[in-house]
């Protein structure tokens, strides 16, 4: 079977924690999240933001905003006439993100909610762009198409979605196997797992504009999709 004909969910490991357990975990680590993850995630996130290319006056949504670094960059890019929205499962992350936004002086153009991206609280055709990094791989497998379909719903025609995620594409070396072994046996420590990003986006109707495979300590897909 060719990579083009494979299904988006082939071989993806299940998520082993409930939403309540995930929320409790991220609330617990919120104050040390940047120390744990930001150094490795930040270069991948910046590449994704470059693909999204937010413009002055646009509306953008971030799914999984964590401590708020990307919200600040989006708010600075869209300027005073633009608007930025964010949704995250963790109330503690929301508190820290709000503080980051306030310090950056962009609170007047950012609106945060605590919620589940499988049910986005926004109307149809609401935003020009959506950005999510290291978040889609946290959703249960059957929720991934639901989240992406919700993204497509709230995007305007011609709107763009950028997903940065751990990926099962590319060579499955010992690091990937070790990562997945840890996820299976210690989901409370490693609750995310590699997925197929481009395939998943295509499966719900996104036109793929650009896709690149990068590496952190495991492969990372950075994919730009467009709503027709």
The full DSSP string for 152-209 is: HHHEEEEEEEEEEEEB--S---HHHHHHHHHHHH-TTT-----B-HHHHHHHTTPEEE
Work out the mean pLDDT of the chain and round it to a whole number.
91
Give dist(CA 193, CA 187) in Å, integer.
Answer: 10
Question: Does residue 179 surpass a pLDDT of 80?
Answer: no
**Which of 179, 196, 219, 193 has the alpha carbon at shortest distance from 138?**
193
Q: What is residue 218's predicted lDDT score, i.e. its pLDDT? A: 86
**Across 137-155, average pLDDT:** 96
- 42 touches 69 (CB < 8 A): yes
Go through the domains of the chain in sequence order and give each one's CATH number: 19-226 (3.40.50.150)
Question: Does residue 155 surpass a pLDDT of 80?
Answer: yes
Q: What is residue 12's predicted lDDT score, i.e. its pLDDT? A: 87
Question: Does residue 120 surpass a pLDDT of 60?
Answer: yes
**Which of 105, 225, 219, 113 has the alpha carbon at shortest distance from 160?**
225
**Across 143-165, average pLDDT:** 98
Q: What is residue 3's predicted lDDT score, i.e. its pLDDT? A: 42
Q: What is residue 188's predicted lDDT score, i.e. its pLDDT? A: 65
Where does the pLDDT of residue 63 fall: very low under 50, low under 70, confident under 90, or very high at 90 and above?
A: very high
Question: Does residue 160 surpass a pLDDT of 70?
Answer: yes
Between the CA of residue 15 and those of 5, 46, 122, 191, what are the distances in Å? Answer: 24, 27, 26, 7
**Across 94-119, average pLDDT:** 98
Where does the pLDDT of residue 124 fall: very low under 50, low under 70, confident under 90, or very high at 90 and above?
A: very high
Q: What is residue 192's predicted lDDT score, i.e. its pLDDT? A: 79
Give dist(CA 154, CA 157) in Å, integer.
Answer: 9
Q: What is residue 189's predicted lDDT score, i.e. its pLDDT? A: 64
Give dist(CA 151, CA 131) in Å, integer.
Answer: 10
Convert the pLDDT of each residue in 10-62 to its tens digit: 888 888 889 999 999 899 999 998 887 877 889 999 999 999 999 999 999 99
Convert the pLDDT of each residue in 195-226 to its tens digit: 999 999 999 999 999 999 998 888 999 999 99
**Across 130-159, average pLDDT:** 97
Where does the pLDDT of residue 185 fall: very low under 50, low under 70, confident under 90, or very high at 90 and above?
A: confident
Given CA atoms 59, 36, 94, 121 in this order, what sign does their dihedral have? positive
């Amino acid at each position: 079977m060719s990579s083009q004909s494979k299904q988006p969910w082939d071989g993806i490991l299940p998520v082993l924690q409930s939403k309540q357990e995930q929320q409790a975990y991220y609330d617990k680590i919120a104050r040390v999240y940047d120390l744990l993850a930001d150094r490795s995630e930040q270069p991948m996130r910046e590449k994704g933001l470059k693909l999204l290319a937010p413009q002055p006056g646009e509306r953008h949504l971030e799914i999984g905003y964590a401590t708020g670094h990307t919200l600040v960059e989006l708010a600075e890019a869209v300027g005073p006439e633009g608007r930025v929205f964010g949704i995250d499962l963790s109330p503690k992350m929301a508190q820290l993100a709000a503080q980051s936004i306030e310090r950056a002086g962009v609170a007047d153009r950012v609106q945060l909610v605590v919620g589940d991206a499988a049910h986005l609280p926004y109307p149809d055709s609401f935003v020009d762009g959506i950005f999510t990094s290291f978040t889609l791989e946290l959703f249960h497998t059957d929720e991934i198409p639901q989240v992406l379909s919700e993204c497509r719903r709230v995007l305007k025609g011609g709107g763009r979605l950028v997903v940065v995620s751990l990926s099962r594409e590319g060579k499955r070396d010992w690091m990937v196997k070790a990562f997945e072994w840890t996820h299976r046996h210690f989901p409370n420590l490693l609750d995310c797992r590699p997925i197929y990003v481009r395939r998943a986006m295509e499966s719900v109707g996104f036109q793929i504009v650009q896709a690149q495979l990068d590496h952190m300590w495991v492969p990372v897909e950075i994919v730009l999709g467009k709503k027709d």
